[in-house]
Amino acid sequence: MSGFDRKIQRFLEVFINAGGYNKVLEGLQNTLLIAVLGLVIGIVVGTLIATVRVLPKYKRLPRILNGICSFYVGLFRGTPIVVQLLVFYYVLLPLMGLKMTSVAVSVVVFGLNSAAYISEIMRSGIQSVDPGQMEGGRAVGLSYGTTMMRIIIPQAVKNILPTLGNEFIALIKETSVVSFVGATDLYVAFNYIGSNSYEFMVPYLVMALIYIALVLIISMLVKAMERSLRKSDRSR
């Protein structure tokens, strides 16, 4: 075990003395930032897309919008996220003459990507709400949009909350590719420690443990949220 002890020693040296912990904090911050903001963008855009996709289709405008949305969803679900990141950063940004930090790009791409997945989750959530709820709203003179916003979507969100939790966990895991466009995430931070201590076993082990801890914490939060929602369903 003395070999392993020495490895830990080397890890701690770089982690504490050579500023490794700063890198790790930065990486953790970016990982969470990209995942959380990505989820928020994903929920907002995804809900919009889902709303378009469940629109009644006998008029032309909904049909066109629906076509655009299903193209969008197909595009983002049909290509690897790494490719989306690279294309956005190295192709689209230069073409449009824009400058963005790699973290900002990651937030946008992960947001747009998760929007595609969340729109499908949200769509099935909306479709799982009893159609009578829409009828009830329309019958008292509320518009389609108002009924959607005030009655249908809140119930849909409640139905899909566990699935949204899983989507968040998937996002956290997938952010480990943002180093492709130069963003510092947990992987980059521990890679830095590894390169500087010439020793990769402990850094990557710690990295794995941090990911596991993150996922466990989020699962617990989602469970707690579900439980409190279910409670408000029965009593109160």
Site for another protein, rule CB under 8 A: 130, 132-133, 135-143, 146, 150-151, 154-155, 158, 233-234, 236
Q: Which residues contact 74 (CB under 8 A, 6 or more apart)?
A: none
CB of 44 to another protein, least distance (A): 20
Contact 107, 34 (CB under 8 A): yes
From the number of C-beta atoms within 10 Å of its C-beta (0-12, 13-18, 19+), residue 88 rates as middle
The least distance separating another protein from the CB of residue 146, rounded to whole angstroms, comes to 6
Query: What minimum distance in Å lies between the beta carbon of 136 and another protein?
Result: 3
Minimum separation from the CB atom of position 134 to another protein (A):
9
Closer residue to another protein in complex, CB, 79/143: 143
Residue pair 212/40 in contact (Cβ under 8 Å)? The answer is no
User: Which residue type occupies 187?
Assistant: Y
Nearer to another protein, 44 or 139 (CB): 139
Compute the least distance from the CB of residue 68 to another protein, in Å.
25
Query: Quick check: 93 and 20 in contact, CB under 8 A?
Result: no
**Residue 190: which of 11, 9, 31 has the closest Cα?**
11
Neighbours of 114 (CB within 10 A): 28
State how far the alpha carbon of 212 is from the alpha carbons of 43, 173, 227, in Å.
24, 10, 23
